[in-house]
Structure 1
């Protein structure tokens, strides 16, 4: 804009000078006025034809920067196969600090390739006169080293574990710090990548300076590799810079390779940054990748990241599971349990893949340790997955649990036993020790929320013993009170039930906390004509008080209503999770006819009349199904 403004001013000046020259030509003698004025005006107009910042250079005289031709040292270093080849080339052709930086970096790479990484300062390697020669020239002429070689040789000195008191390292660090503003964003990113986590004050200062420059110049970042590297070091960056990097990642996401997507996902999960726009973009681009890019490592890491961040993207998991299915026979036990656990967190069940996991365990049970088996069982229980070939699978599971269950840590032992209850595979001798006072005491430590959760699981375990195995246990745990905070579904369901019975409190209980650890939204008893009857005087073994003293009249039935919320179902399905299938089973064994009110049906009912008609219809169908049994 400034150039355009100056150009316009120049044009105006030309016009003014032309008019002034013409006026002077009238009044001055011809020899003074003529050619000089015209010449000046023409020169002004010619200069302003282009932008004033442009330099007009004849095409024939344009020169491009000269690229140095490869020297003999460069050629020998490129062909070198051993560290000794490098040192011989340097001894023969080495001359300047820039060559010394590149040669030293290549030498360290070949040393690592030949004998492994530098675990500590190794004087026998650094004492070689040729290595010393490279380092001395580097120290003396460090200001002549190119930026790329300077950053690379700094990393080389770090890799070689050169002590921070070494003058060569100090010279290179100081020079990098002086040039920090001249380094490209790519070089700054490499400094952060390589230097993050180092404890030396000079290294910390370098990384801090690089991060400050990146925060100021983040708009200059243009390549996906740099973005990927920086996001992976997010724990060292300010939240403001991470937000900018996520915006930049959205811009360059199209150029991410499958490996870049994997690294970014893992980094976001490690930092617990749930960036929904970026995760959606990564999901779109990963679906465009060919099958060859879907390595086992990519599948495992992306599933882990999405599970950790609770980001559910069904299309991605469908693709990941489809790509993983043919590879299941070659998977390790760790991979099977890790992927299953990630899907379990997201409540996403892929039946063919889980069946393949069952077959994998059946064929390779000796390769699974007890903790991997526990994770697999807990995932199956969470999703309510019952294998089609369960007999063979659970026979091997029981062999392991018979030997190892009692030796597990108390919380894990409770989780595994509860999972076996959900899967209807728990044996009484698994559960009886967990209902003793000594086991309750082991679970009493920790946060109140966690303690209450495990107390509920113990009530479910005791209910399994009583209702499924007819083994009674002493009641040592208090029955949990119904929650005072109700969801929209629960409050509207209880209100509709009250309207259904005409406000008669003697025929309806709401928010019933049972001795089995389950809460019923609504309880009533109906006679043979489906008319509600008084329940206050009836015996109620599911209540802590035991209820009244009268038996249920002949032909009457108990009904239990419960609203099923969105989180009670698997992702993208209408199949209840394992916890809620066990709840229905327990209440049915306790003598109730269960009336399930799912959210996807209830929320479509707009008027009280529709809700009452819906409840009557559900009651009639539930009673008819029970009579048909």
Structure 2
């Protein structure tokens, strides 16, 4: 019975013969092959038995459509992600050097070899197939492209599939290496059979072979999750053999596979700490990138140790390497101050040599860490506009978000915002695939008060909303809501499209449902609400809710009349009901002597902030105390001296001052500063536009008071509510 081979560039079908001994292959041609079908060619009976090899599981793997895609690894930053291979000669044994090729063979010799193998018909042996493919791998790239479209080459691939179970491990490796040198298309379905074979043999291969195979797949650009699963399952037994090069190469493979199984975290941490001091600059950068791409959540101690070592090598590290370390910090949310301070010196020096994606990643890391250093940010702002033409929509959007989030104003970098915004217009076509980039960019611009009408009209158009909503995994409803609400408040003359009422109500409900079980339950918010209720006269005088729903946060709303008396929020036109915190009452509550009423010369100043470790925020903040001295109590409990009413209150006793009491936390500010981040600064601006006076309970004042008595908290809030009222009226 004959085994026939026919070829087509579009189809590949395997059918088992009646005795399940021989295979009929219709080879799926390489992408470089002609699109027209080519004539069938017959060969005689092949003695290579393949029954054992052809199993349902492997066929499913080979022909599964989801396997036919390249690794999703577009270059974010121009640089060589394999530069670490030049650090040690040992990498030659565990990786494929793309820059080195064996001596080339003549094209005519390759054609003769192909013809000879195919003429052998049934007499061909697995060693002959492996040798022939290995020789073809020595062709020059342009000649290899011609060979890939040759019918006899496709027949040879069919023979190799039959020979798979009979190849030795070395021969199998040689064939895969030949595929890399021949630049075989990642979509060639025969590679599915090879992946299955390598996966089955992984447990019987040594460490160097396992790493080399993974690297060869990486060079082919094909995603091989099943082989990687086999690699991860058996790698633990080889950890004791890992030196620095093997460890770094494995971290690289983890990153390219975009996954780090949980059972590998502990041994990885142990071996990283063991070999860390031996790693060179580009090896450290490769480790950082591997951890970032694989989303490997190592302990803070290990990550901090890696970046500690990177600090000692910062002068030797490439720009690409610097960005990789920043990516790891961004992923880990780690505030490594020595590294960040070093970037304040290094980035301004290197910015002229960095490319647009690299500069974007620098400011994006600063934004993610809430770290504002004007040396870094203004250096990037200066050198990014000339490179704007190289920006993708992703680069432009994330750069605008980062600058806006860190409150870098347009007047500080006049050319940045107009230039990058213009790039968004030129990249409109990309928003059809990545609608989230447009929303990211527009929110970043809104943070600093920039509103390009044409892009806003596009983003809020029904067509674009429908397009973005169809990408359910993106969940962009909140971003649309924030942008729409911002337009409604800050652009009163806006005549462009807006979200529908139904859309706004749906997202408002989602946000409020979340807030009720999260923000509203925070101890600092509950305590502020309860103390305010006691101060003002009960629950009716404090409303906890979303004054601006599109801002995704809550406030404690308080109303005061013209005589600074609290009004019940549910009916602000009724007479005042409440309890005034007098000097006598405070003295009784605190068992202190009565304090004479005095007029202080200034309001209370916020205490100086001490360094705050992010992982112990609450403990450290509680450790920063505010002593309620006699003078401080005097200032906090003073009654407003009678003065002329403000002009807008002369004509009506029913004038109402609306207060929005905000309980802030450390994440509302740039790191270790009192500079609000973009979203929170924009909310404060919009509250004022909506007619509210913002009363902030900053975390450096309010959090320490949570351990104090009710009387001290009440005195503090009395000062905040009524002194704020006093100062705003005078202004």
TM range (shorter): 0.5 to 0.7
TM-score by length of 2: 0.56
Q: Say whether the 8 Å CA contact 1:480–1:513 is kept in structure 2.
A: no
- Measured in 2, the distance between the counterparts of 1:447 and 1:552 equals 53
Give the SS at the match of 1:484.
helix
What is the aligned partner in structure 2 of residue 46 from structure 1?
A: none
Q: Deviations over 1:385-433 (max 9, x none)?
A: 2254344444445655677779945544443333322111225565466
Q: Distance in 2 between matches of 1:121 and 1:204?
A: 29
Indicate the residue corresponding to 1:216 in structure 2. 237
Give a deviation string over 1:560-615, Cα, whole Å, max 9, x none: 10111232222343321100001111111222110111223211012212211221
Match of 1:455 in 2: 481
C-alpha contact 1:418 1:460 (8 A) present in aligned 2: no
Secondary structure class of the residue paired with 2:663: strand
1:271 paired to 2:294:
yes
Instruction: Tell me how far apart the structure 1 counterparts of residues 722 and 296 of structure 2 sit (CA, whole Å).
Output: 49
Per-residue deviation, residues 215-267 of structure 1 (Å, max 9, x unmatched):
3242x325211111123233488643453233212211111111111111111
Matches within 5 A, 1:19-418: 157=178, 159-160=180-181, 185-186=207-208, 189-194=211-216, 214-218=235-239, 220-234=240-254, 235=257, 239-241=262-264, 243-276=266-299, 277-292=301-316, 294-368=317-391, 370-397=393-420, 408-409=431-432, 411-418=436-443
1:440/1:499 CA distance change after superposition, 3 Å: farther
262-271 vs 207-216, greater mean Cα deviation: 207-216
Alpha-carbon distance change, 383 to 533 in structure 1, aligned in 2, over 3 angstroms: same
Residues 279 and 107 of structure 1: CA distance in aligned 2, closer, same or farther (over 3 Å): farther
Deviation at 1:492, TM superposition (A): 1.5
In structure 1, the residue matched to 2:191 is none
Quick one: which of 493, 500, 508 aligns to 1:480? 508
- Within 2, Cα distance between the matches of 1:352 and 1:205? 46
Q: After superposition, give the CA deviation of every residue in 1:256-309 in whole Å (9 maximum; x if it has no partner).
A: 1111111111112222111124312211211122512x2111012222233234
Matched, 1:611 2:636: no
1:625 Cα offset (Å): 3.9
Q: Please give the TM-score of this superposition, normalised by the length of structure 1.
A: 0.64
* Correspondence for 2:592: none
| Structure 1 residue aligned with 2:681 | 581
How far apart in 2 are the matches of 1:498 and 1:472? 41
Within a 5 Å distance, the mapping from 1:498-577 to structure 2 comes to 498-503=533-538, 505=540, 507-514=541-548, 517=551, 519-527=553-561, 529-538=563-572, 553=653, 557-577=657-677
Task: Name the CA distance, whole Å, in 2 between partners of 1:205 and 1:563.
Answer: 50
Q: Distance in 1 between matches of 2:526 and 2:270?
A: 42
CA distance 1:216–1:622, change in 2 (3 Å): same
1:344 and 1:162 map into 2 onto residues whose CA distance is 40
State the secondary structure of the residue aligned to 2:704: coil
- C-alpha displacement of 1:460: 2.3
1:420 maps to 2:445: yes
- Whose helix proportion is higher, 1 or 2? 1
Paired with 1:210 and 1:362, the residues of 2 have a C-alpha distance of: 45
Cα distance change of structure 1 residues 441 and 625 upon mapping to structure 2, 3 Å threshold: farther
Q: Choose which of 455, 466, 489 in structure 1 pairs with 2:524.
A: 489
Deviation at 1:380, TM superposition (A): 1.6
**Change over 3 Å in CA distance of 1:120–1:266 after alignment to 2:** farther
Q: Does the 8 Å CA contact 1:520/1:561 hold for their aligned counterparts?
A: no
Q: CA 1:452–1:327 in structure 2 vs 1: closer, same or farther (change >3 Å)?
A: closer
Extract unaligned runs of 5+ from structure 1: 1-79, 85-103, 128-141, 165-169, 540-550
Distance 1:504 1:212, change over 3 A: closer
Taking a change above 3 Å as real, the CA distance of residues 493 and 107 of structure 1, as seen in their structure-2 partners, is same
Larger Rg: 1
What is the DSSP-based 3-state SS (H/G/I as helix, E as strand, rest coil) of the residue aligned with 1:523?
strand
* 1:221–1:280 Cα change, 3 Å: farther
Give CA deviations for 1:503-525 in whole Å, capped at 9, x if unaligned.
151x3322244466565421222
Contact map agreement 1:221 1:227 (CA 8 A) in 2: no
Label 1:406 to 1:622 Cα distance change in 2 as closer, same or farther (>3 A): farther
Paired position in structure 2 for 1:31: none
Change (3 A) 1:516 1:284: closer
Compared with structure 1, are the counterparts of its residues 252 and 429 closer, same or farther at alpha carbon in structure 2 (3 Å cutoff)?
Answer: closer
Q: Using a 3 Å threshold, how does the CA distance of structure 1 residues 536 and 398 change in structure 2: closer, same or farther?
A: same
Aligned-CA RMSD value:
5.1
Q: Deviation per CA, 1:176-225, whole angstroms, max 9, x where unpaired?
A: x79x87x874565445544679899xx9999998766643242x325211
Larger deviation, residues 587-596 vs 570-579: 570-579
1:561–1:596 Cα contact (<8 Å) kept: yes
Q: What residue is the counterpart of 1:622 in the other structure? A: 724
Residues 217 and 161 of structure 1: CA distance in aligned 2, closer, same or farther (over 3 Å): same
Where does residue 601 of structure 1 map in the other structure? 701
**Higher RCO (C-alpha 8 Å, min separation 6):** 2
Could you tell me whether the CA contact under 8 Å between 2:180 and 2:219 is conserved in 1?
no
Structure 2 gaps, min length 5: 1-100, 106-131, 154-166, 189-193, 574-650
Contact kept? 1:118, 1:159, Cα under 8 Å = no
| Kept after mapping to 2: 8 A contact 1:120/1:161 | no
Aligned equivalents of 1:261, 1:117: Cα separation in 2: 39
- Provide the secondary structure at the position in 1 that maps to 2:267: helix
Residues 119 and 281 (structure 1), Cα distance of their counterparts in 2 relative to 1, 3 Å cut: farther
